[in-house]
Structure 1
Amino acid sequence: MRKARVSRETVLAAALALVDREGIAALSMRKLGAELGVEAMTLYYHVPNKDAVLDGLVNEVVSRIRVELEGPWREWTRAFAVSIRRELLAHPALLPLVATRPVLTPGGLDDVERIAAGLRGDGFSPSGALHMINVVATFVIGHTLAEAGSTPGHDEPDVAAAMEGLDPGTYPVLAEALRAGLGTPENHQERFDLALDSLLDGLAARLRSPE
């Protein structure tokens, strides 16, 4: 294998490609070195340890969430949530990592500070702004994990087949909802929109200072 030119950027790009292909559990410095055609020890010139790689992967997702803080706060906060979901759906194997690892890199913290400052300028207290960001991000990650996540090392159940086999005599309400097209995997977008809009309405009432 021809050796690639190694830098922090190429290490993280290779790590993302490896995780996309094999899952987060497969990530190791040895495998990452093989991905780049170098010995694992070479990687330590560019990233101090595996934790730095994991933090870098979280930052890769955060750095791609670009939202212009223009117009009403609710519109761009909603766009922030939609952007998180879009990036996670593009890299579903990262979901367990993003769900459990906080944003720690300077670049990621800069992005959080920018959104918090936007909320602060629109009537939220500092704590209210951070609560808004955390609650919205946690909701989106959880929703997307249920939508596109998987259990490492196990086959996923056939939800659609199980729902189609429900006995209307035993589960009349569920059966009626399914006949109306609710509760199916195809309804992820509808459920996401409903929950996000309700969440933003409720958070605004609780966290935003009255005008």
Structure 2
Amino acid sequence: MNAAPEILIIDDERQIRRLLTLTLQEAGYRTRESENGRLGIGEAAFRRPDVVILDLGLPDMHGLDVLKELREWTQVPVLVLTAKDREDDKIAALDAGADDYLTKPFGSGELLARLRVMLRRSAQGPEPTAFKLRNVSVDLTSRLVVKDGEEVHLTGKEYAILRLLLQHQGKVLTHRQLLREVWGPQNEEDTHYLRVHMTHLRQKLGDTDPENRMIRAESSLGYRIVPE
């Protein structure tokens, strides 16, 4: 019988740690707690958890520094939990390697849903090359995109955007990350390029219903493809 996934909570607020522990254990997860960044890094190295929930406002070091140290040796999924709701803070966390973020106060249902997405993605093993999005299928090996049985012709940039989003399903990719990967580091601030190409990509995929997007915009932060 496989052990339940273990979640490491790095947060200096005892009440938040307690709330998270109760919520996660009730949902069937195992949990560990650390009250500061340095202890959290050590616990992550020793325990090798399945997911890390990381607060940014730690007493001994900034949560971003914890994240950067973790990313030097592990790709464990990291959910940033923060009271800071400024876009700049969220973008900085995602750019530093966070897989997702959640703003305090948070709902337990949303927390658990985000964890399930992260765990599914990390359990996939070898990266998949074939994807199904409603009536659209994508084969990255053959670079073939098909909608309702008809091939969809994408430009090089449109295909590169779609490929990146599919390879990071469920994860928010910031505007800066997408621009850096598709256009190069010299174009990280040119968000109008991305908006124009995203509009064309959505039109070609038939992703035009603003209430039911396959490719979702995340509060001016970036985009993500949400697995069905």
Give the TM-score taking structure 1 as reference length.
0.29
Pair member with larger Rg: 1
Which of the pair has the greater relative contact order for Cα pairs under 8 Å at 6+ separation? 1
TM-score, length-normalised on structure 2? 0.28
- Return the structure number with greater helix share: 1
